């Protein structure tokens, strides 16, 4: 059995689940849903990494 998830794995899992929900609820056509889910996933990951880098100097 594996140990607990790392912060990065947790962020990716959260981004995936929320992006799928946004894609499902936000658009009508399947192609638009997939595109919107992929776009929101990318934005979640980019913003999460950017916030992590901005907080890094304060962790020491």
* Domain with 17 in it: 7-52
For residues 50 and 2, the model is more confident at 50
CA 57 to each of CA 11, 47, 54: distance values in angstroms, whole numbers, following the listed order: 20, 17, 7
Residues in the chain, total: 60
Contacts of 23 (CB under 8 A, 6+ apart): 33, 34, 36, 37, 38, 40
1 within a domain of the structure (yes/no): no
14 within a domain of the structure (yes/no): yes
29 within a domain of the structure (yes/no): yes
- pTM value? 0.84
**pLDDT given for residue 27 in this prediction:** 82
12 within a domain of the structure (yes/no): yes
58 within a domain of the structure (yes/no): no
18 within a domain of the structure (yes/no): yes
59 within a domain of the structure (yes/no): no
Domain count, the chain: 1
DSSP 8-state class, residue 60: -
2 within a domain of the structure (yes/no): no
**pLDDT given for residue 1 in this prediction:** 61
Q: What pLDDT digit, counting tens, does each position of 7-54 carry?
A: 999 999 999 999 999 999 988 898 999 999 999 999 999 999 999 999
Spatial CA neighbour of 48 closest among 5, 21, 20, 10: 10
């Amino acid at each position: 059995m594996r140990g607990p998830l790392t912060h990065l794995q947790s962020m990716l899992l959260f981004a995936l689940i929320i992006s799928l929900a946004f894609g499902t609820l936000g658009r009508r056509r399947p192609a638009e849903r997939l595109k919107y889910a992929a776009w929101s996933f990318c934005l979640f990951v980019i913003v999460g990494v950017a916030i992590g880098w901005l907080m890094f100097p304060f962790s020491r």
